[in-house]
Amino acid sequence: MTEYPSLSIVIPTLNAENDLERCLTAIDSQDYPSDRIEVLVLDGGSTDATREVAEAHGCRVSVDNDPSHRGTRLGTGDARMALGVTLARNEIVAFIMSDNWMPDDHWLEQMVRPLADDQEIVGSFTLRYRYRPEGSLLERYFALFGVGDPVAFYLNKRDRISWAEDTLPYHGDIDDRGAYYHVRFAADGLPPIGCNGSLIRRELLLQSNMTPDRFGHSDTVQDLVDLGHNAFAVVKNDITHAYQGSMFNEIRKRLLYFRLFGEEGAPRRHRMVDWRRPADVRGVALYLLYALTFVKPTWDAACGFRRQCDVAWFLHPFFCFCMTFAYGYAVTLRAAHRVQRARSRQ
């Protein structure tokens, strides 16, 4: 790469002092010209030393202390990512979460190279999440399956591939270019990409729905693909997504996002399940069958275990079962609210 594009690394945070220290240390160690990088930390009002850690590493820090934003879309990491794009000064925006760790010193150069070599490429993201045997049980499970939601896994809308497969599941034209796959995504069936180590050209991001109350990383990529900017690089490397929470906390987080990004708010452009799409309807029906019988998830876990010996694979059938009832509860609650609102209008 003869000329290094300038990068703005956007990191949304909230009480992330321990993870952020390791995240920023990995960024500092990259063999990428430091004068071509700026790091923006968008904090949601941390009460720990998150801001002090960011400032010690020379980051630009923006803090949202507005209490009215808590529990709303304006209080999410996605809203802070939108703010980061508007504050960014450089050509390419890299969305790095505070619990994302670059696994080696060449990571940034590998991720940027496809965008530097091919102006048609809109953005890049990693092929997999890094598998760390020392990681928490849930971190290993998410990394092994390449997704944080089993519904997305069975709809072939996972953002990374699993460690049990060797081919890309994405809809669209795929060309193997050695260090990365050139993927021209179809607008129909787009995976939820755009965070956890994703790089996108800033000038194109600004063409999407960029207001904080409408920004979602997968919605934004959907906007770009709908506009015809559909060529992405899937780089043959990985990124650590360290996860320390419990399964209960993960389910609760997904239900919160289901509410915040549901139909009551600004309409989503990217939907994990599009009921107008026959493939999604069939996929949900099959998922329910799989989750409630345990057979297919257990088989998939066993196949994965043969490739990478780790008991974390076997969280899969239980997580499928739990998410089925969690989403069922959320859908029922939403339907009840709609009926209540309709009656109140009469």
Cα(215)–Cα(177) distance, integer angstroms:
31
Could you say which of 3.10.20.30, 3.20.20.10, 3.40.50.10380, 3.90.550.10 is the CATH number of the domain covering 7-244?
Answer: 3.90.550.10
Token duo for residue 74: 């304006």
Per-residue pLDDT band at 84 (split at 50, 70, 90)? very high
Token duo for residue 113: 């190279």
pLDDT, tens digit, 9 for 90 and up, residues 145-180 = 999 899 999 998 899 999 999 999 888 999 999 999
Identify which has the larger pLDDT, 334 or 26: 26
pLDDT, tens digit, 9 for 90 and up, residues 38-60 = 999 999 999 999 999 999 999 99
Q: What are phi and psi of 173, to 5 degrees?
A: -90, 130
Cα(152)–Cα(257) distance, integer angstroms:
15
Residue 96: strand, helix, or coil: coil
pTM here is: 0.92
